[in-house]
Amino acid sequence: MLKKNVEAIQARLKPDSTLLDIGGWASPLHRANYVMDMAPYETHIRNSETHNPHHRMGMPEQFSAATWIQRDICAREPYPFADKELDFVVCSHTLEDIRDPIWVCSEMARIAKAGYIEIPSRLVETCRGVNRDCPVGYYHHRWLVEVEANKALFHQKSGIIFNHWSHSFPRKFLWSLSPEQRVTCLFWEGAFQAEEVSSHDKDEIKKELAAYVAKHHPYPAWRFQAEETMKKFHQGRRTVKNLFKGKKK
């Protein structure tokens, strides 16, 4: 999580405020009274000791094995909290990984008075060179996420994004992104909305991906022209080969 936003969360909380960290296994916030994750308490990684020292928030872990809730957060069963029972809920770098972020968002809005979500930005998720094991973005992420006003929009990360250079940003664009540009954040109070933006038409998906890239980092016209020229060249070669094959017969 961004350090400044961890500090903003801490500033919002009173000493008796209740905080739930959803999906915090790898680096839970020390201020959290409860943590909810699929993995057991005994295995949680204390990345706050090395990689995310600001997650310690100047205190020891406030949660314990007794307040660690091990469960599938996407199972369509209500979380074990009453409506608006919690003062604050955090879900950081988790929604992009899971199969049903819409459900998780709806439960967050039900059980908490306010909260914060943070996910990798669509900008960074559309970049080449993020992971060695994936041509574009992070290899294990399922969603491209954007935030508009008080709504989180989840686009399925289609394999079409890997198929053409115009659907993603070059490595040099990744290097230009600031820490703030690499994440998308939403502080909310009372409630917030979450929606899946779906399309099953491959041409529509291609058009939307290319439009997103063109909006933020347009490729030069000569690159598209060069590609068209090469296509025509190869088509011409195939035509000539077919003619010779026909004559030989």
Amino acid present at 35: V
Q: Which two tokens stand for residue 54?
A: 């600001």
Cα separation, 156 vs 158, in Å, equals 6
What's the confidence (pLDDT) of residue 232?
Answer: 75
CATH topology of domain 3-218: Rossmann fold (3.40.50)
| Structural domain boundaries in the chain | 3-218, 220-249
For the chain, 249 residues long, the average pLDDT of each consecutive 10-residue run is 94 96 92 96 73 79 96 97 98 97 98 98 97 92 96 96 96 96 97 94 95 95 83 71 66
* pTM (two decimals): 0.88
The SS3 call for residue 184 is strand
Give the ranges where 188-220 is alpha helix by DSSP (H): 202-216
Beta bridge partner(s), residue 155: 144, 197
